[in-house]
Structure 1
Amino acid sequence: MKLHFDLGTVLQGDYGALFLHGIEMTLAMAALAWLLSLVVGVLLTIVRMTQFRAAEALVGAYVAYHRNVPMLVQILFWYFGISNILPLALQDLLNQYNSQFIFAVIAIGLCSAAYLTEDIRSGLRAISYGQIEATRALGLNFFDGMRFVVLPQALRYAIPPMINNAVVLLKNTSLAMAIGAAELTYVTRQIENETFLSFESYSVATFVYLGLSLVIMLCGARIAMHYRTPGVK
C-alpha cells in the first residue's frame, strides 16, 4: 500500500495563511498571559512576605484553587461564567475585541501566576535572612527592600523554573480552542476538517509547538547563564 503525504496542501494558499494566523495568535496569547502571570505572581509573593495571616491565607487559597482546578475548567468558567455577570456594555465591548482571546489570556495568566509565585517563593528560600535584615539596617522600608534587594535576587534564582513554566503556558494555550479562540490548535483542527489531511495538519502543529518550546528553552538557558549568581552552579 502506497502512502500519500500531501504537506503542500496544508501549507499553501489560504491554509498556509490560516496556520500563520494561528501561530501569531498563540504567540500573542502566550506572551500576554505570561506577562500577566509574572505581574500577579510577584504581587502574590509580596503579599505573602508581609507575614499577615489573613494575607497569607488568601494567597494560599488562590494558589490552591488554581493548582487544583483544571485550567480548561478555569477557561470555561471565565468565558461562560464571569462574562455573563459583567455589565452588558462591557460584554459588547469585549465581543468587539475578541472576547475569546481576552478571557483565555486572563484565565491562563491567572492560573500560571499560582505556579509562578511558588517558583519565586523557592527563589526566596535561597536568600539568606541576613539580606532582609540588611535592608532594614539600610533604612529601607518593606516594599523598597523587596523591590531593590530581595526580589531581584529571588528572580535570578527562580529563572530555571520560570522558564519551564513559560513552556507549559505556551502548550496550555491550546486549551483556548474550547471557547473558539483561533490559536494554532483551533486552526489546525479547522484545516483538518476541511482537507481531511489529518496526519499532515497535526504534523505541522506538532513541529510548530516543538520548535517554539525549544526556542523558549534555549533562550531561557542563555538568560539563566547570563544572570547566574556567582559561585552557584
Structure 2
Amino acid sequence: MTLQPSRGADAKGDYPWWLVALVLLAIGIAVVIVVNDIYAQVFLTVVNGVSVTVFVTLVAFVMATLLGLAIALLGLSDSLVLRQISRFYIEVIRGIPMLVLLFYVAFVGAPAIVTLYNFATAPLVSAGWAEPLQVREVSLMWRAIIALTVGYASFIAEIFRAGIQAVDHGQIEAAKALGLSRYHRFRLVVFPQAIRVIFPPLSNDFVSMVKDSSLVSVLGVADITQMGKVYASGSFRFFETYSIVTYIYLLLTIGLSLLLRGVEKRMRKAPAR
C-alpha cells in the first residue's frame, strides 16, 4: 500500500515550524553572545572572516557560472571536437575531490602558470621592460578562487546543458524560421525559458559554494573557518569557537536559501516572455 500525500498540504504547504525553531535558536545564541564575554570575544574574532568568505564565494561563483556556460555551449555545439572537449572537462573535473583540486591548483597549477609566464616574457625581462614573476606573488586567495571556479564550472555546465535542452525544440525551429541568428535565438528564445529550469539547481550550487569556501582555510586564507581555527588553537576553547563558526555559516546559508527560494517563487509566478 502506497501512502498518498495530503492534497491540502501540497496546495497550501506545511507551516514552516522548522524555520520558527531555527529563528528562536538563532535569537537564543545571539543572546548568549551578548551576555557571555567568552562567546562575544569568539564571535568578534571569527566574524572578521565573513568578508573574505563572501568575497571568495561571490567571485568564484560568478567566474564558475561564466565558465560553466561556455563549457555547456561547447557541449551543445555542432562540432564533434568541441563536444568531446566539453565532456572531457566535465568528467575529469567532477571526478576530482574539491580539496584535492584546491591543493593541485595552489601548489602545482600556480607554479606551472608562473613558469610559463616567465618563459613567455623572457625577452621583455632581458630588455629590462618587465620583471620575472615569483610564485609567492600569486595570492593564495586567488589560487583558492581559481580552484573553486574550475571545480564548480563542471557542475554548473551540466545545469546549463539540462536547462537549455529542456526548451521545446519547436520554438527554436520557429525562431530559425523567423531568421533569427544563433545568438539572438539563444538570448531571446532559449535562455529566458531555460533560466526557469536552471535557477533552482544553480542557486543550490551557490549555497554549496558558501560552505565549500571553508576549504580555503587549508591554504591559510583568513575566512570564517581559518579565523576560528586560529582562535581555537590559541585559546583551546574548541566548543565555543566551532559553535560560533557553525552559527555564522548557518546564518549565511539558511538566509541565502530563503532569499533564493523567494526569488524562485517569483520567477514561477512571472509570465513567460
What RMSD in Å do the two structures reach over aligned CA positions? 2.2
Indicate yes or no: 2:70 matched with 1:43. yes
**Equivalents in 2 of 1:102, 1:137: separation in Å?**
46
**Equivalents in 2 of 1:150, 1:56: separation in Å?**
19
* Residue pairs, 1:88-127, within 5 angstroms: 89-91=132-134, 94-95=137-138, 99-127=139-167
The alpha-carbon deviation at position 94 of structure 1 amounts to 4.0
* Residue pairs, 1:191-210, within 5 angstroms: 191-210=231-250
**Equivalents in 1 of 2:170, 2:37: separation in Å?**
62
- Sort the Cα spacing of 1:92 and 1:11 in 2 relative to 1 into closer, same or farther, 3 A: farther
| 1:73-93 CA-partner distances (Å, limit 9, x unpaired) | 111111111111214644468
**Partner in structure 1 of residue 208 of structure 2:** 168
**Equivalents in 2 of 1:90, 1:224: separation in Å?**
45
Indicate yes or no: 2:54 matched with 1:27. yes
The alpha-carbon deviation at position 21 of structure 1 amounts to 2.2
TM-score, normalization by structure 2: 0.75
| 1:104-148 CA-partner distances (Å, limit 9, x unpaired) | 111101211111111122212321101211221121222221122
**Partner in structure 2 of residue 11 of structure 1:** 40
Helix, strand or coil at the partner of 2:268: coil
**Equivalents in 2 of 1:221, 1:168: separation in Å?**
15
Helix, strand or coil at the partner of 1:139: coil
**Partner in structure 1 of residue 169 of structure 2:** 129
The alpha-carbon deviation at position 41 of structure 1 amounts to 1.3
Indicate yes or no: 2:111 matched with 1:84. yes
- How many percent identity over aligned positions? 27
User: How many residue pairs align between the two structures?
Assistant: 223
**Equivalents in 2 of 1:18, 1:94: separation in Å?**
27
What letter is aligned with 1:213? Answer: T
**Equivalents in 1 of 2:267, 2:231: separation in Å?**
42
Contact 2:76 2:161 in 1 (8 A): no
In structure 2, which of residues 189, 195, 199 is the aligned counterpart of residue 155 of structure 1? 195
**Equivalents in 2 of 1:166, 1:187: separation in Å?**
22
Helix, strand or coil at the partner of 1:228: helix
What letter is aligned with 1:121? Answer: R
TM-score, normalization by structure 1: 0.88
- Sort the Cα spacing of 1:120 and 1:148 in 2 relative to 1 into closer, same or farther, 3 A: same
User: Which runs of at least 4 in structure 1 moved beyond 4 Å after TM superposition?
Assistant: 229-232
| 1:54-79 CA-partner distances (Å, limit 9, x unpaired) | 11111111111121101111111111
**Partner in structure 2 of residue 62 of structure 1:** 89
